[in-house]
Amino acid sequence: MSALFNFQSLLLVILLLICTSAYVHQMFPTILDRNKTGFMGIFWKCARIGERLSPYISICCVLMAVSLFIGN
């Protein structure tokens, strides 16, 4: 089943996108800062969300891991 049709998988993909973008921005800030508009701007926005809401994103990561562990 595609991640677009399964809500939990869609949330997992979005959460991983936010975490990965924040990590890449921390390691290589110039890569994402150059591309604030267009398609690549999505990654810059996800990095901002990950940086500013990091406690909430961390809680969501833990909850998603627990729900995946219990579900399988």
**Tens digit of pLDDT per residue, the chain (72 long)?**
565 678 888 888 899 999 999 999 999 888 888 888 888 889 999 999 988 988 888 888 888 888 878 876
Query: What integer pLDDT is reported at residue 2 of this predicted model?
Result: 60
Provide the residue range defining the domain that includes 55.
Answer: 7-71
Q: pTM value?
A: 0.81
Query: What integer pLDDT is reported at residue 40 of this predicted model?
Result: 85
Residue 14 placed within a domain: yes
Residue 50 placed within a domain: yes
Instruction: Give how many domains the chain has, as a whole number.
Output: 1
Residue 1 placed within a domain: no
Which CA distances in Å does 13 have to 22, 33, 34, 46, 58? Answer: 14, 22, 24, 12, 15
Query: What integer pLDDT is reported at residue 33 of this predicted model?
Result: 84
Q: What is the DSSP letter of 72?
A: -
Tokens of residue 33, six digits:
């800062």
